Amino acid sequence: MHVFGIIFLFLAAILPLNFWSVQIFGVQTTMAAMMVLPVLIYWLLLDTALGMGIVGAAVLLLSTASIIVSNVSVGTVWSISAVLIVVGVSLQIIGHRLFERRQPALLDNPPHLLLGPMFVMAKLFIALGFRHDLALIIDPVPQTAALGTTFYADARNGETHPNS
């Protein structure tokens, strides 16, 4: 849910920005590329390997957005963006409510919005067998309860957990 939701929201944000062409230091580019550049630098500074993965994904998504904008009408681009936003936000809500059973961190701290892609890339690196150091932080080994004990407060009848 995170992966597709974040990809859809990123694409929705950059699609309309591809309409504005800008020239920087003699290089023709789009406002989308200019707006993405600072956050890509931020991600690279946080973690070079994960940042490079995100840069690769961003290049692919910026290229996709450019192809879409050059082949459809302005109204269609805005319609695609609207649908991507609705689907992306829906996926985030479903993922957080149904699977994680907690609210998104960005509701408490809006700058966490910038950490979503980093989190997703970290999960991808872990799934591919890279970055065992991040696996220890993101997917810690669950504690096991002693036989006959439970972590659930209502099942303990007011007793504290044996390890607490």
pLDDT tens digits along 4-38: 888 999 999 999 999 999 998 888 999 999 999 99
- For residue 143, pLDDT beyond 60: no
pTM, to two decimals? 0.74
Lookup: tokens for 94:
């479903």
Check: CB of residue 89 under 8 Å from CB of residue 9: yes
Question: 113 to each of 2, 10, 116, 144, how far by Cα in Å?
Answer: 12, 11, 6, 33
What confidence tens digit (pLDDT) does each residue in 55-113 have? 999 999 999 999 999 999 999 999 999 999 999 988 888 887 887 777 776 667 777 77
> Of 101, 59, 75, whose CA–CA distance to 16 is shortest?
75
CA proximity to 35, closest of 114, 119, 142, 129: 114
| Residue bearing tokens 């995100």 | 54
In this prediction, residue 146 has a pLDDT band, given cuts at 50, 70 and 90, of low
- Residues 141-156, mean pLDDT to the nearest whole number: 54
| Predicted pLDDT of residue 147 | 58
Tell whether the model's pLDDT for residue 151 goes beyond 60.
no
152/21: higher pLDDT: 21
